[in-house]
Structure 1
Amino acid sequence: MKIKNILTSIVVVSVILFTGCDKNDDTDTPLSFVNETLPANNTAGVSRNAVITATFSEAMDASTINTSSFMVKQGTTEVLGSVNYSGDTATFSPTENLSAGKIYTATITKAAKDLSGHSIESEMVWTFTTGGTLTTLNSVSLGASANYVILAKTAVNNSGTSIITGDLGLSPAATSYITGLALTDATGYATSAQITGKAFAADMADPTPINLTTAVENMITAYNDAAGRPSPDFVELATGNIGGKILTPGLYKWTNSVTIPSSITISGTANDVWIFQISGDLNMSAGINMTLAGGAQAKNIFWQVAGEATFGTTSHFEGILLSMTGITFQTGATMNGRALAQTAVVLDGTSVTKPQ
């Protein structure tokens, strides 16, 4: 009888212990936490078009990842935006561009829960500082290259009937590399029914050669200035597809090509400056328009393009184009600005007008 009672007690105790382990098992499970953020804590120079992300240690309940559990503030002012969750990462996308040179605070609260309904281990708070320009950008000085609406080094080739308003320059290539414009020679320059202005080439009479040499040197200096500007406001905006965008003043940077498949607007005041740094090509689709708004002026818009710049049929472009590789205007394309190329400019029934 004593042995039976002892065995019964052992069984009861074992059941209690086993059951107790089950009940407390949840408390032994490690709680989820944020193990990575972008930008990282205390990062400086963050682009004004940045999205803010938080990566969790495990999959979370997506319904708990929202603007109530993921917030961004500048001081005490909440930043408006949308929150998305995929895999193990939450993304906060601001509705508008962030302000330049400001400290922002991002927070993931304990309202964020994992798939088992447990809150994260502790609230996650981190800060970052935006980069960009606090004042109006300085304009890019064109020097003597501003004397030309089209300036190239190797060739200017035209087909169809173009309308060029302003002077055209070519150096170090000779006059024979200006084709399709039916030039009439004069002393130190040439004229054409398609040019409201004059055409100059490196083999013409003095002082044209030295003037062109200076202009080309200044064009290259301007290109390098635009390419070297630091502290961009916007980095990899729309991953290079800027169709449909309204582009506000500032410094933009892309490490690849930029496409414009739908019309865009450049909006700002008459004194604002835009600099676009493009490491690849620039391609504008056929029939697409670039529109200026709010007083923005083409003479204050600078496109620095390391690759080729191509403008589709009947498209319209605004600004000063500084191209290292070449510029091609397809049939009927128009430009209000300057085409300054370190190789060739190709025209096809193109209208190019110097900016006011």
Structure 2
Amino acid sequence: FSSWSGDANGNNNPLTITMDANKTITANFTLINTNNPDGIDLSSAGDFVVIGGAGITNTGSTTLLTGDVGSFPTPTINGLNQTNVNGTLYTTANPIVGQAKSDLTAAYNDGQSRTLNAISLPGQLGGLTLAPGLYVNSTSTGISGTGPQGILTLNGDANAVWIFKMGSTLVTDPGTFIVLSGGASTDNIYWVVGTSATFGTNSIFFGNVLADISITLNTGATLNGRALTRTGSVSLDTNLATKP
């Protein structure tokens, strides 16, 4: 219950009224989405658009990354320089990246531990419109198909949270994409990937990708979010990636 309207006002409940004439009184309620999970705290990992564990490799000169970039414990970065990065590019071992990796691990473990109000996540997400919630698939999921079947729509307001948890891989086909509607925020979308994530050529993806092993963005793929991997490498090729 939120308030009264019509011939009464305020939010006192119970309400006492004097019926000295015909009156119309409406009780107003605010719908609370009980399936909306808490977000995952990225802490200092949230400053980064790309984190690798075993290095980062880029093969496209026009790749543009907005946010910090680094790898730990292997700091090797090939094919990137500061002209590709609108943020700090860490090319040697740095405790800042080490702390971000530690925070990433905590965030990943948090995501993988979520079970409350879990919804079954299908293997094919193309053609679906999904409300906020925790979605779980014990194996693999992705977006495939062309036309409407290659589009995943996430519909919710600015406070809505989506957590997609999978036991194995996340794979999107070339040209597939995600659409946000209703004011949904990229920062509130989390993909917790049990092994590796691969994004198809010229695909468009939204959200924070937390992968245990590796992340690959194929030629021309766009990521509105973060590519954060714990143990393996991140591979880039003529990509745009922008942290929220």
TM-score above 0.5: yes
Alpha-carbon displacement from aligned partner over 1:101-142 (angstroms, at most 9, x marks no partner): xxxxxxxxxxxxxxxxxxxxxxxxxxxxxxxx8253111000
Distance 2:71 2:45 in 1: 11
Out of 142, 157, 171, the residue aligned to residue 57 of structure 2 is 157
Q: Aligned-pair RMSD on alpha carbons? A: 1.3
Equivalent AA in structure 2 for residue 173 of structure 1: T
In the alignment, is residue 252 of structure 1 matched against residue 141 of structure 2?
no
Mapping of residues 141-156 of structure 1, within 5 Å: 141-156=41-56
Alpha-carbon displacement from aligned partner over 1:211-250 (angstroms, at most 9, x marks no partner): 2211101000000001101124311x33x11111101100
Equivalent AA in structure 1 for residue 66 of structure 2: T
Question: 1:167: which partner in 2?
Answer: 68
Which contiguous aligned blocks of 4+ residues in structure 1 show a shift greater than 4 angstroms? Answer: none
Equivalent AA in structure 1 for residue 37 of structure 2: L
Question: 1:223: which partner in 2?
Answer: 108
- Contact 2:35–2:134 at 8 Å: present in 1 too? no
- Contact 1:281–1:306 at 8 Å: present in 2 too? yes
Indicate the structure whose relative CO is greater, using CA pairs within 8 Å and at least 6 residues apart: 2
Equivalent AA in structure 2 for residue 169 of structure 1: G
Mapping of residues 202-351 of structure 1, within 5 Å: 202-203=92-93, 209-235=94-120, 237-238=121-122, 240-261=123-144, 262-342=150-230, 343-351=232-240
Question: 2:38: which partner in 1?
Answer: 138
Distance 1:259 1:210 in 2: 34
Question: 1:180: which partner in 2?
Answer: 79
Q: 1:172: how far off?
A: 1.2
- Contact 2:35–2:133 at 8 Å: present in 1 too? no
Distance 1:335 1:259 in 2: 15
In the alignment, is residue 193 of structure 1 matched against residue 79 of structure 2?
no
Distance 1:135 1:314 in 2: 32
Q: 1:202: how far off?
A: 4.4
Equivalent AA in structure 2 for residue 141 of structure 1: D
Distance 1:243 1:135 in 2: 22
Unaligned ranges ≥5, structure 2: 1-32, 145-149
Unaligned ranges ≥5, structure 1: 1-132, 184-191, 204-208
Rg larger in 1 or in 2?
1
Distance 1:308 1:232 in 2: 25
Alpha-carbon displacement from aligned partner over 1:1-24 (angstroms, at most 9, x marks no partner): xxxxxxxxxxxxxxxxxxxxxxxx
Secondary structure at the counterpart of residue 165 of structure 2: strand
Q: Number of matched residues?
A: 205
- Contact 1:172–1:202 at 8 Å: present in 2 too? no
Distance 2:35 2:135 in 1: 15
Distance 1:220 1:193 in 2: 29
Distance 2:187 2:204 in 1: 15
In the alignment, is residue 354 of structure 1 matched against residue 237 of structure 2?
no
TM-score, with structure 2 as normaliser? 0.81
Equivalent AA in structure 2 for residue 350 of structure 1: N
